[in-house]
Amino acid sequence: MEVRSENSIQVRSDKFPSTVIPRTRLQVWFFRVCSSILLWTCLVHIVAVAELWHPRLLTGFTSRISWITRPPLRLQHSLHSPPPLVPSRYYRSNGFLKVSCNGGLNQMRAAICDMVTVARLLNLTLVVPELDKKSFWADPSDFEDIFDVRHFIDSLRDEVRIVRRLPKRFSSKYGFEAFQMPPVSWSNEKYYLEQILPLFSKHKVVHFNRTDTRLANNGIPLALQKLRCRVNFQGLKFTSQIETLGLKLVRILQEKGPFVALHLRYEMDMLAFSGCTHGCTVEEAEELKRLRFVMFEADRYAYPWWREKEIVSEERRQQGLCPLTPEEATLVLQALGFTKETQIYIASGEIYGSERRLAPLRAAFPRIVKKETLLDPAELQQFQNHSSQMAALDFMVTLASNTFIPTYDGNMAKVVEGHRRYLGFKKSILPDRKKLVELLDLHQNGTLPWNDFALAVRQAHEKRMGQPFHRRIIPDKPKEEDYFYANPQECLCEGTGCEDVLDPGKSSKVTMTAGEQL
């Protein structure tokens, strides 16, 4: 009689016809684990294949097991997993919009946001924008050298269809010539719908050969204003090379404590552009004048007024139209309460006059650093002679800084100001240059003592530190209005409490003292 227990297994052989060997608990456990793993692996593969064939078929079931099959959020980021694609917006395209952006990095950045918005309004297919290569800066960078083009296309696919290049049938190789034109500056929705859209039914491809400030600051539907923000804050992502080095710069600075990003726009191109020569030698003033005409020849459309009149530097300075000099910036920083211990990052290119002009600033603030001093030359080599890529590194640092101070309200200053508002109204001290020039001259000629000068500077900037406020609207004078990208108020809050946030009378007062300098 053969007896078998639950935990036994029968083994037969010629030598032992019928031998019963007891199972151990370890063998049972091992068998069950292996079986479970095998079954679970098969299940996961079946689900994956099923989702490829019919993505919606197993939605309910896969959601129940997603917590197992999907890695935690932090792990996803560490593995650089791409975010899930948003559903494409299907629409009948009215044609292809080709654009050539002009200017520096941040002027082109704003233009790209505007052009995506125009494409959405007119139901167009947008070709990845071309970047300026013909201006004075002569930067050979293409869009994909600065921005993550795949992310740009994918992140906006629910709004606009974006392609890398025109279809072959619209190539000049096949004799096709796109209709070229610069849209009218500061134009609203009505202009694009009534005057631009009909052009596509005739030409199929329209090429905007200038894109700076071609969309109005105000009078644009809320949905389009929010799209401008979405492109700017989410769609335009720097390449991995730029982001990696930019984050390294930020990490180095933050490890040394809080820091100020000083956008010292005392560079050769800006001085030539503005006609400002305060503090320069006679020889330097002549050099800048010659350069101004070189820039005019490089881009006649941008500066047509340069040959119409002689620029008087001191008049422009008194009107607040000149960037602060390094010497002026030194006094202003000291008046605002910054001390020798303050870490200052110079966000700019080569300062005109080099170390000679930086000497007073460096003497007052020994902890001055630049990307060139924080990084190994080999790390910056790939970005040399690419001014827009170098500007992208500075852009990342200015966003991360504890305090941002621009010495001129150019495109970078405005775009960074608006981005810092979007990030939670981070402190940005925006110099009132017209008032500052008046105070600086009074102090330097001995009329205004230091304590009175410092107090006046602080009082003049109490409400110029990036607090919430409404954009200024000036009917029929769009150039004098507040710039949309400096204060994208439509994108800074949600819900019915927005008026409370944007009302300057209700915003918290920021007082600048030596003890609260950052």
pLDDT tens across 368-422, in order? 999 999 999 999 999 988 999 999 999 999 999 999 999 999 999 999 999 999 9
Share of the chain above pLDDT 90, in %: 61
Q: Which range among 53-67, 319-333, 353-367 shows the weakest confidence by mean pLDDT?
A: 53-67
Strands (E), 397-473: 403-406
Q: How many domains does the chain have?
A: 3
pLDDT(499) > 80: no
Say yes or no: 364 and 314 in one domain. no
Residue 21 bridge partners (DSSP):
9
pTM higher than 0.95: no
Sequence-distant (6+) residues with CB within 8 A of 460 are 432, 435, 436, 439
In whole angstroms, what is the distance from residue 408 CA to residue 351 CA? 14
pLDDT(443) > 50: yes
Residue 86 maps to a domain: no
Q: Single out the residue of 485, 501, 487, 496 nearest to residue 112, CA to CA.
A: 485
Q: For position 366, which CATH number holds?
A: 3.40.50.11350
Mean pLDDT, the chain, as a whole number? 83
Q: Examine the fold and report which residue of 211, 234, 257 is the final residue of a domain before the chain moves on.
A: 234
Distances (CA, A) of 38 to 29, 33, 425: 14, 9, 54
In whole angstroms, what is the distance from residue 42 CA to residue 509 CA? 62
Containing structural domain, residue 207: 96-234
Q: Which range among 119-128, 246-255, 287-296 shows the weakest confidence by mean pLDDT?
A: 287-296
Are the beta carbons of 409 and 430 closer than 8 angstroms? yes
Are the beta carbons of 147 and 392 closer than 8 angstroms? no
In whole angstroms, what is the distance from residue 33 CA to residue 192 CA? 66
**Token duo for residue 135:** 């201006």
Say yes or no: 218 and 365 in one domain. no
In whole angstroms, what is the distance from residue 186 CA to residue 223 CA? 18
**pLDDT category of residue 222 using cuts at 50, 70 and 90:** very high
Residue 437 maps to a domain: yes
Are the beta carbons of 484 and 219 closer than 8 angstroms? no
pLDDT higher at 251 or 56:
251
Say yes or no: 426 and 375 in one domain. yes
Q: Which range among 159-173, 176-190, 271-285, 466-480 shows the weakest confidence by mean pLDDT?
A: 271-285
In whole angstroms, what is the distance from residue 229 CA to residue 447 CA? 46
Say yes or no: 373 and 485 in one domain. yes
**Token duo for residue 40:** 């679970």
Residue 351 maps to a domain: yes
Burial class (CB in 10 A: 0-12, 13-18, 19+), 380: middle
